[in-house]
Each structure stands twice: as C-alpha cells, then as structure tokens.
Amino acid sequence: MSGRVIVVTSGKGGVGKTTATANIGVALASTGASVALVDMDIGLRNLDILMGLENRVVYNLVDVVEEKCKLRQALVKDKRLPSLCLLPAAQTRDKSAVNAEQMKKLSDELKTMFDYVLIDSPAGIESGFQNAIAGASEAVVICTPEMSAVRDADRVIGLLEARKEEIGQYRLIINRIRPQMVKSNDMMSVQDVLEILSVKLLGVVPEDDEVIVSTNKGEPLSGGENVRAGQAYRNIAQRLKGEEVPFLDLDSLNATWLSKVVSFFNPTARV
Amino acid sequence: MTTTKIAIISQAEQGVLIDISGCNTLAEAKQYLTSTLQVSSQFWDGLTVDLNLGPLALTPEEVAEIMAIVSEVGVKPKQIFAADNKTRASLIASRNVQDQPAAPVEPEAEAEPEATAETDLETKAKAEAVPPMPEPKVETPPASSKAECATPSALVEKLCEAATTTENKEETCEQNKPAKAPAKTPAKATPKTPAKQPERSPVLFLRQTLRSGQAISHKGHLVIVGDVNPGAEIMAEGDITIWGALRGMAHAGVGGNTGAEIRALKFEPIQLRIAHAIARSPDKMKTATAVSPGPETARIVDGKIRISTTIIE
C-alpha cells in the first residue's frame, strides 16, 4: 500500500490547522480509509488534546525518530474509529529534535501502513514547517478571511511552489468564514481570498461555536450530524478522495432549519 | 523507558550535579539545559552546582554557549566534568581567557594546542559577550586518588560513568548501600565531604509550578511544592510527592522500583506511571460535581496502579 502524505499548514498561527487535521482525519476515517494523524508541532503538542487521546500517549514522534521505540508502539489508536491513529508530538522537546531527513523517512514508513497520512504542521515557516513538509506529497493550506492570514498563506504557498517536485498539489481551505459579515462587506469573501491567492479551493468552513465545544471535549465534530463545520469537513474529506462535492451554500447557513423549509416552498420569503 | 537526557542529582552537602551526559548532541544538551534550568530557576540560588558534560565533544565556542545558558539562571558550576578530550581542551581554553592563575594545569591542554590557539580569539569574544561567565574548571584529581588515577582523563571518565548510569554507579560505589549510591560519585572529589552519608535516597526539592513542556528527572525522591500542569513530565527513581495539584504526567520508580508512590494534594493526572505500570485518566470529561476527595496516593497493588486516600498502607 502506498498512501498519500498530506501536510496541513498555514504560516499563521491560530487559523485552525490542528482542528482541520483532526476533523479531516475523522471524516476520512469514517469513510473506511485508514488514516494516520501526525502532530509535528513538537513542544506545543495539541492534536492529542483535540482527539481526546492525551491520556493514552506513551511514546511520541521524537522517540520514534530517535529509535527509542517502534513506530507501532508510538501510534495511538483513536477511541472511536479503529482505522484512525495518532502519532503524537513530544511536549518536552523542541523543533530541533528532528530533521527533514528523519521526517521523510518516517512519512515513507507511515504511507506503507495507511491510506492517508495527515501531517499537522506548526505555525511559522522555519525548521518545524520545513520538517513537516519534508515527506509530504500534497499540501492543504488553511487560511482565515483576514488580510494577515491571507498574506501568510501566500508566503507559504510560495514556499510550497518552490518544492514542486515533491509536493504535487496544494489546495486551500478557507476557515471560520462568517457569511453574514461577508454580506455586509465586513469580511473578505471566498472570492476575495481566491483572487489574491489564486489556488484551487478545497473547502470553505463556516465559523461555528460547536468547534469550540468539540475542541474542549476532545471529540472532533466531523462525526456529529447537523453541525455546519462538521459538514464542511466531511465535504473536504470527500474532495480529498477525489469526489465532486458542491460547496456549501453559505447564504443558507445563517437561516434556521425552519426558514430553509419555508424558503424552499416559498422562494420569496426572506427571513 | 527513554534514557535520561538530563538529571539533577543532589549530592547532599555538596550541592547538586547537573548531568547532561545522556545528551548526544550540543543542540540536545542546550535544549535540556534550557528547559530544566528554567524549571528550577529559584532553586539554584546559593547552591553549589557541578556540571557533567559527559561524552560531548565541544569547541570552546560551544562550551561558551553552554555556559551562557547556565549562567542565565545564575548558576555557576563549581566543577565541570567532561569525558571528551576536545571538550576538556575547550574548557581549559575558556579558562585561559578568564585568566585564572590558580586553576590547575591539565596535561591534555598540550595535547591539542593548535585547536586551543585557533579558537582562542573567538572564545574571548564569546566570553565577553556573556558577562556572567562562570569559571569553568576541569576537575582535578583529589589528593587521595592522585596516585591511582595518574591521568586526569581516566578519573574524569570514571566520574562521568559513575554519574551516568545506575549500573555503573553500583560498580563504583559497591561498598555503599545501593540506595545511597547516587548521592556520591563526583562529590567525593571535594575535600570537605563529612564522614556521615545521607540516610535515604537523595531528595530533590522544588518550590514552583511545573508548566507544560517542562520535564524533571531525578535519581531519587522528588518533592514539589507547587502544581504540575498538564504537559509537564516528572520522573523520579523514588517517590514523587506534590504539595499541590498533579495534572501532568508523573512517573515514579523509574527503573523498576514497584514500591514507589506518587502522592499529591489534588490528583488529576493525565497519566501515571509507577515502575513499568501505566494508568491513564478516564476518558470522560471531568464534571463540575466530580470534586477531588483530597490528598491521594497512587501505588502498585497486585501489579496495577491504585489510587487511594490512604496515606500509609
């Protein structure tokens, strides 16, 4: 088996890399694919908390790289999905604990074991980022509709373009968009962002309070029904698998369930 | 378990030994030093500190880098141990910069004179850049053992070995009761060692909160007055006692001591390890009603970790 190694990166911090990694991973795994999530944010480990697997971590990525344990020993199995595994980062070390060559070797090993290897990159474009993209063949760039995030995403895309031989394709996820603010011209729209970045869009994730709840609970929301962000991540997972899925109708997201039914039967009704 | 990269070994009246002989690279050594020294910054005040560089091969600049980290928290190593000839030459080089006439002469200094000469200027620049440069001094053989350890390198290596692994410790200090072994070793070198030995395993006493990413590893009992936050890791070959909340990972009895215990005022650990047993916290999110019943102790009962409010069984 030769899986796909996909790095999730953004340049800017706090735009939702880890949340996206967890949710896409859960969404992919719930379709039956085997998925490994790799936390590359050494020293600022978070992915295990989002996955609710913090208490099961014994060995970590650095232990694997330093050959203190076998890769299989360090992989933490998800408590809900049997085909989902997490390779946690080390918390008491820093980015210099691994190098690009070791990461490449690790990714190569992982892709023989899993259909998808999702690498959660740290913020920034320094060694941590370079290590994260070292073994990847695809990239997903996360960006929020803010000038600063777009600027950083642009920089990252530039760096990814420079490694065209290794990273075949890179696609964009626009995270935390608020359709109402876009409507009132207070927020950049999907089109505005795409115009600047001119990359292929993988998905748009609306701002959703449920994300905060699920982050604190350690339960990624892709599994849950009726969650807007969860639906968006499920769509993204399907697009990663190569399926054609229409983008969410952001305008209708603000509407309540009832008003959607009303407007379905009576298109002139505006709530 | 992983090998100890850095250990703080208390040496009773002799202060403490910071042992980084488990580190393979300079980067690793620097990282562990930075994180560990930060943890215990107040702890170092007025303490006699020795430093064991182990087998690291360092240039004078690299030695200066290590010293910069150490001096940042106000630690001035009294004695520095190194097993590598190059490192020793570097230490001597940086000592020459400091121009200390009282420092003992090392035969190895002549072994690599060109290396010392080449880097002298750079070392000087570094040393000036870091004003609180401690006075690195390569350990000199104590008067008593001078005869048997004619070459300082042999002695230093011996000391390093003794400080590094438990097995070696037992070898070198076999006359002593094994539980007391870690306290000794390099401390013996200094003449003021009184005859009486510590009664129990050495205890490391820390008075501060351990935060995420900070790691403490100690060859003896560990007492922490303060909280251990999630993401912090504490390991001890003996017991771990926390006068505060335990929310991170605690590993007592590292090396296989199944009699070790972990006790804390508030017990909310992510993971507990005693010797080779591991216990993890329940997956369910803590509810507001689940109040900690007060101080608790974790110990191994029938091969499994059990937590109870019983203080002494």
CATH of the domain at B219: 2.160.20.70
What is the distance in angstroms between the Cα of A234 and the nearest Cα belonging to chain B? 25
**pLDDT number for residue B141:** 38
Confidence of residue B80 (pLDDT cuts 50, 70, 90): confident
pLDDT value for B12: 56
> Which helix (H) or strand (E) is B251 found in, with range?
strand B249-252
B198 within a domain of the structure (yes/no): no
> Can you state the angle between helices A190-197 and A147-161, rounded to 10 degrees?
40
Given a cut of 50, whether residue B147 has pLDDT beyond it is: no
Domain span at residue B20 reads 7-189
- Contact (CB<8Å) A68/B28: no
Q: Is residue B193 scored above 70 in pLDDT?
A: no
- Residue A6: phi, psi to the nearest 5? -120, 125
Task: For A11-58, write each residue's pLDDT tens digit.
Answer: 999 999 999 999 999 999 999 999 999 999 999 999 999 999 999 999
Q: Chain A 226-255, CB below 8 Å of chain B: which residues?
A: none
Q: Which of B142, B165, B189 is the last residue of a domain?
A: B189
A53's enclosing H/E stretch is none
The encoded tokens of residue B14 equal 């002799």
Q: For A91, which of B28, B212, B280 is closest by C-beta distance?
A: B212
The count of CB pairs under 8 A between chains A and B is: 39
Query: B30 and B162 share a domain?
Result: yes
Alpha carbon of A47 to those of A102, A121, A238, A249: distances in Å?
21, 11, 22, 29
Strand partners, A39: A120
Q: Which two tokens stand for residue B5?
A: 């990269």
Inspect the interface and report whether the beta carbons of B271 and A57 lie closer than 8 Å. Answer: yes
Residue A185 burial by CB count (10 A; 0-12/13-18/19+): exposed, middle or buried? Answer: exposed
Of B212, B213, B270, the CB nearest to A55: B270
Closest chain B residue by Cα to residue A44: B213
Distance from CA of A54 to the nearest CA of B (A): 7
Confidence band for B52, pLDDT divided at 50, 70 and 90: confident
Check: CB of residue B31 under 8 Å from CB of residue A97: yes
Note whether B32 and B151 are same-domain residues: yes
**Contact between B233 and A52 using a beta-carbon 8 Å cutoff:** no
> Both B210 and B243 in a single domain?
yes
Sheet holding B77-81, edge to edge: B7-10, B16-19, B49-52, B77-81
* Euclidean distance between CA atoms B91 and B111, whole angstroms: 13
Nearest-neighbour CA in chain B from A8: distance (Å):
23
Pull the structure tokens for residue B40.
Answer: 């215990």
**Between A19 and B90, where is the model more confident?**
A19
Name, in order, each residue with C-beta under 8 angstroms of B277's C-beta and a sequence gap of 6 or more. Answer: B258, B300, B303, B304, B305
For residue B270, the distance in angstroms to the closest alpha carbon of chain A comes to 5
Instruction: Report residue B164's pLDDT band, with 50, 70 and 90 as the boundaries.
Output: very low
pLDDT beyond 70 at B121: no
Pair (B173, B260) in one structural domain: no
Same domain, B164 and B252: no
Using the 3D structure, point to which of B160, B189, B218 is the last residue of a domain.
B189
Which residues of chain A fall short of a pLDDT of 70?
A: 222-226, 250-271
H or E element: which one contains B122?
helix B113-129
Pair B139, B284 in one domain = no
Q: In the prediction, which pLDDT does B235 show?
A: 95
Give a yes or no: residue B265 inside a domain. yes
| Domain presence at residue B80 | yes
pLDDT on residue A30: 93
Better-scored residue on pLDDT, B241 or B138: B241
Q: Does B270 touch chain A (CB under 8 A)?
A: yes
Report the chain A residue with the minimal C-alpha distance to residue B281: A55
**Residues with Cβ < 8 Å from A267, sequence gap 6 or more?**
none
Q: Which domains does chain A have, with CATH numbers?
A: 4-265 (3.40.50.300)
Domain count for chain B, please give it. Answer: 2
My answer on whether B79 and B145 are in the same domain is yes
Of B27, B28, B271, the CB nearest to A55: B271
B139-157 mean pLDDT: 39
- Apex B57 CA angle, B56 and B58, nearest 5: 105
Q: Quick one: B142 and B42 in the same domain?
A: yes
Question: Which chain B residues have a beta carbon less than 8 Å from that of A92?
Answer: 35, 213-215, 232-233
The span from the CA of B273 to the CA of B39, in Å, is: 21
- The answer to the question of residue B115 being in a domain is yes
Using alpha carbons, select from A42, A6, A71 the residue that is nearest to residue A239: A6
CB neighbourhood size of B51 (10 A): 25
pLDDT at B311: 84
User: What is d(CA A254, CA A265) in angstroms, rounded to the nearest whole number?
Assistant: 18
| Candidate from A41-55, B26-40, B241-255 with smallest mean pLDDT | B26-40
Q: What is the pLDDT of residue B179?
A: 38
**pLDDT higher than 50, residue B36:** yes
- Using a CB-CB cut-off of 8 Å, the residues of chain A touching B232 are 92
- Residues on chain A touching B280 (C-beta within 8 angstroms): 55-56
At which of B157, B189, B221 does a domain end? B189
Q: What is the pLDDT of residue A261?
A: 59
Nearest C-alpha of chain B: how many angstroms from A218? 9
Least confident segment among A240-249, B46-55, B215-224, B233-242: B46-55
Which of the pair, B93 or A241, is modelled with greater confidence?
A241
Determine, yes or no, domain membership for B125: yes
**B80 and B32 share a domain?**
yes
The CA-based angle A62-A63-A64, given to 5 degrees, is 90
pLDDT score of B73: 75
8 Å CB contact between B20 and B6 = yes
Asked whether the beta carbons of B224 and B242 are under 8 A apart, the reply is: yes
Q: Do A55 and B281 touch (CB under 8 A)?
A: yes
Q: Is the pLDDT of residue B239 over 70?
A: yes
Decide if B280 and A68 are in contact by the 8 Å CB cutoff.
no
Structure confidence at residue A50 (pLDDT): 94
B2/A55 CB distance under 8 A: no
Cα dist from A190 to A183, A204, A211, A233, B88, whole Å = 11, 8, 20, 16, 62
Residues B256 and B183 in one domain: no
B162 and B112 share one domain: yes
Two tokens, residue B181: 């072994």
B112 and B85 Cβ atoms separated by less than 8 Å: yes
Q: Does B287 touch chain A (CB under 8 A)?
A: no
Give me the residue from B213, B280, B283 closest to A91, CB to CB.
B213
**Alpha-carbon span B279 to B298, nearest angstrom:** 10
Same domain, B79 and B137: yes
Please tell me the predicted confidence (pLDDT) of residue A244. 92
Interchain contact, B215 vs A63, CB within 8 Å: no
If one compares B141 and A51, the residue with the highest pLDDT of the two is A51
Binned at pLDDT 50, 70 and 90, residue B127 comes out as very low
Residue B234 CB contacts under 8 Å (≥ 6 apart), including other chains: B210, B215, B216, B217, B222, B224, B228, B240, B248, B249, B250, B251
User: Would you place residue B4 in the very low, low, confident or very high pLDDT band (cuts 50, 70, 90)?
Assistant: low
A269: exposed, middle or buried (Cβ count in 10 Å: 0-12, 13-18, 19+) = exposed
Q: Is the pLDDT of residue B189 over 60?
A: no
